[in-house]
Amino acid sequence: MGQLTSKHRGLPHVHFSTNDEGPPRYSPHHFVGRIQQHCEPPTITVSDVDLRSLRRPSLYSNLDLVPQLENYASSLPHLHGSRPSLETLRRASEVGCPAKSNLHDSFIDSFFARKRRHSSVRCMLNIWGVILFLRLSKITSEAGILLMWLIILMSTVVTSVTALSVSAIATNGRVVSGGAYFMISRSLGPEIGGPIGVVFSFANALACALNTVGFAEEVQALLKDFDVVMVDEVNDIRIIGVITVTLLLLISLAGMEWESKAQILFFIVLLVSFTNYFVGTFLPPTQEKQAQGIFGYRSEIFIENLMPDWRGPNSNFFQMFAIFFPSATGILSGVNICGDLKDPTSAIPKGTLMAIFFTTLSYLAISVTVVRDASGNITDILTGNITDILTGNITDGCVGLGCKYGWNFTQCIETQSCKYGLANSLKLLGQISGFYYLITAGVFAASLSSALGFLVSAPKVFQCLCKDNLYPYIGFFAKGYGKNNEPLRAYLLCFVIAVAFILIAELNTIAALISNFFLCSYGLINFSCFHASITNSPGWRPAFHYYSKWTALFGAVVSVVLMLLFTWWAALTTFGIIVFLFGYVNYNKPKVNWGSSVQAGTYNMALSYSVSLSGVEDHVKNFRPQCLVLTGPPNQRPALVDFVGSFTKHISLMICGDIIMEQDRKTRAPDATECLVKWMNKRKVRSFYSPFSSDNLRVGARYLMQASGLGKLKPNTLVLGFKANWRESSPESINDYINTIYDTFDSNYCLCILRMMDGQDVCDQFDFEVNQGFEPDEALMLETITTVFQNDQGKKTIDVYWVADDGGLTLLVPYLLTRRKRWRRSKVRVFIVGDEQNMEEGRNEMLALLKRFRLDFNDVIVMTDSERRPQAKNLNRFMDSVAPFRLHHEQQEGVSLEELKQSSPWKISDKEFEAFKLKSERKVRLNEIIRRNSQHAALVLVSLPVPQSVCPSALYMAWLDTLTCSLHCPAVLIRGNQQNVLTFYCQ
Judge whether 68 lies within some domain. Answer: no
Whether residue 342 sits in one domain with residue 307:
yes
Cα separation, 971 vs 644, in Å, equals 13
- What is the model's pLDDT at position 176? 63
What's the mean pLDDT in 903-918?
82
Residue type, 20: D
**Which domain range does residue 230 map to?**
120-370+421-571
Judge whether 516 lies within some domain. Answer: yes
Whether residue 208 sits in one domain with residue 305:
yes
Cα separation, 411 vs 397, in Å, equals 11
Whether residue 202 sits in one domain with residue 160:
yes
- Domain stop point among 556, 571, 586: 571
Sign of the alpha-carbon torsion through 255, 257, 260, 264:
negative
Domains contained in the chain, number:
3
Residues 97-108: pLDDT tens digits? 444 444 444 433
Cα separation, 940 vs 845, in Å, equals 22
Strands 717-721 and 627-630: parallel
- What is the model's pLDDT at position 986? 64
- Domain stop point among 531, 553, 571: 571
Strands 654-660 and 717-721: unpaired
350 CB-near residues (< 8 Å, 6+ apart): 118, 120
Q: Helices then strands (H, E): number in the chain?
A: 36, 14
- What is the model's pLDDT at position 714? 92
Percentage of residues of the chain with pLDDT beyond 70: 80
Judge whether 478 lies within some domain. Answer: yes
- Domain stop point among 530, 545, 571: 571
Cα separation, 930 vs 356, in Å, equals 80
Is the pLDDT at 815 greater than 90? The verdict is yes
Instruction: Choose from 37-46, 596-605, 784-793, 974-983 the range with maximum mean pLDDT.
Output: 974-983
Judge whether 983 lies within some domain. Answer: yes
Whether residue 351 sits in one domain with residue 307:
yes
Residues 325-344: pLDDT tens digits? 888 877 877 666 665 666 66
Judge whether 630 lies within some domain. Answer: yes
Is residue 805 exposed (0-12), middle (13-18) or buried (19+ Cβ within 10 Å)?
exposed
More confident residue, 970 or 114: 970
Report CA 442 to chain centroid distance, whole Å: 43
Whether residue 810 sits in one domain with residue 761:
no
pLDDT category of residue 448 using cuts at 50, 70 and 90: confident
Whether residue 845 sits in one domain with residue 723:
no
Cα separation, 739 vs 717, in Å, equals 16
Rounded to whole angstroms, what are the CA distances from 191 to 462, 526, 587, 685?
A: 16, 16, 9, 21
Residue type, 608: S
Judge whether 333 lies within some domain. Answer: yes
Least confident of 210-214, 657-661, 968-972: 210-214
Is the pLDDT at 747 greater than 70? The verdict is yes
pLDDT category of residue 119 using cuts at 50, 70 and 90: low
Cα separation, 909 vs 921, in Å, equals 17
Least confident of 74-78, 352-356, 414-418: 74-78
Whether residue 814 sits in one domain with residue 760:
no
- Please check whether residue 635 is in contact with residue 782, taking contact to mean a CB–CB distance below 8 angstroms: yes
Residues 699-708: pLDDT tens digits? 999 999 999 9
Whether residue 324 sits in one domain with residue 204:
yes
- Please check whether residue 29 is in contact with residue 101, taking contact to mean a CB–CB distance below 8 angstroms: yes
CATH of the domain at 669: 3.40.50.620
Whether residue 177 sits in one domain with residue 289:
yes
Whether residue 755 sits in one domain with residue 647:
yes
- What is the model's pLDDT at position 591? 78
- What is the model's pLDDT at position 831? 94
> Residue 943 phi/psi, 5° resolution?
-60, 130
Cα separation, 323 vs 241, in Å, equals 20
Residues 300-318: pLDDT tens digits? 888 888 888 888 777 888 8
CATH of the domain at 537: 1.20.1740.10
Is the pLDDT at 14 greater than 90? The verdict is no
Whether residue 765 sits in one domain with residue 797:
no
Least confident of 480-484, 631-635, 807-811: 480-484
> Residue 70 phi/psi, 5° resolution?
-65, -25
Cα separation, 817 vs 824, in Å, equals 8
Judge whether 698 lies within some domain. Answer: yes
Whether residue 156 sits in one domain with residue 229:
yes
Judge whether 253 lies within some domain. Answer: yes
CATH of the domain at 816: 3.40.50
Question: Mean pLDDT score of the chain, rounded to an integer?
Answer: 80
Residue type, 63: L
